[in-house]
Amino acid sequence: MTLDAIDRRILAELQRDGRITNQALAEKVGLSATPCLRRVKRLEEAGILRGYVAVVDQKAVDLPVSVFISIKLERQREEDLDRFAEAVSRWPEVMECYLMTGQRDYLMRVVCADLPAYERFLKARLTRLDGIASIESSFALAQVKHTNVLPIG
């Protein structure tokens, strides 16, 4: 699907405010309500708009600790990569996980309440997976920037 300038404005507005009414969205992008809704539906059906979520403050729900974990597997065979990805996708503490190039195979971000909670995650989940050669953890001291808004402009 090719995005035109109006599609991009719709996406930019929805990223800023996913609860905006269709009427308000239409006014912001210069359309009437019906064509605007039709475009939004088309973006949803194409999988470009994958959903709408509430952004929850991590600290407000007692999960102030972010840990970035670099993982190296013993082997990088497809079945090993698939097994790791399948396990990680089931763990609610893992916010993001990326297959990487370079010296490490995966980089993930985990959230937890405190250091003992991270230790429990490490011992109960991560170290119990077969095929992990090494784990390196780095604790975030402060979040400098976080956004869910893609630079579609």
Domain chopping of the chain, boundaries: 5-46, 65-139
- CATH architecture group of domain 5-46: Orthogonal Bundle (1.10)
Question: What is the CATH number assigned to the segment(s) 65-139?
Answer: 3.30.70.920
The phi and psi torsions of 122 (rounded to 5 degrees) equal: -60, -45
Give me the mean pLDDT over the 49-63 stretch: 95
In the sheet that 94-99 helps form, which strands lie side by side, from edge to edge? 94-99, 106-112, 65-73, 132-139
pLDDT in tens, 64-120: 999 999 999 999 999 999 999 999 999 999 999 999 999 999 999 999 999 999 999
| pLDDT band at residue 1 under the 50/70/90 scheme | confident
**CA distances (Å), 86 to each of 11, 80, 97, 145, in order?**
31, 10, 11, 29
Q: Do the beta carbons of residue 38 and residue 46 sit within 8 Å?
A: no
Calpha distance 51→80 (Å, rounded):
30
3-state secondary structure of 70: strand
Rounded to two decimals, the pTM is: 0.88
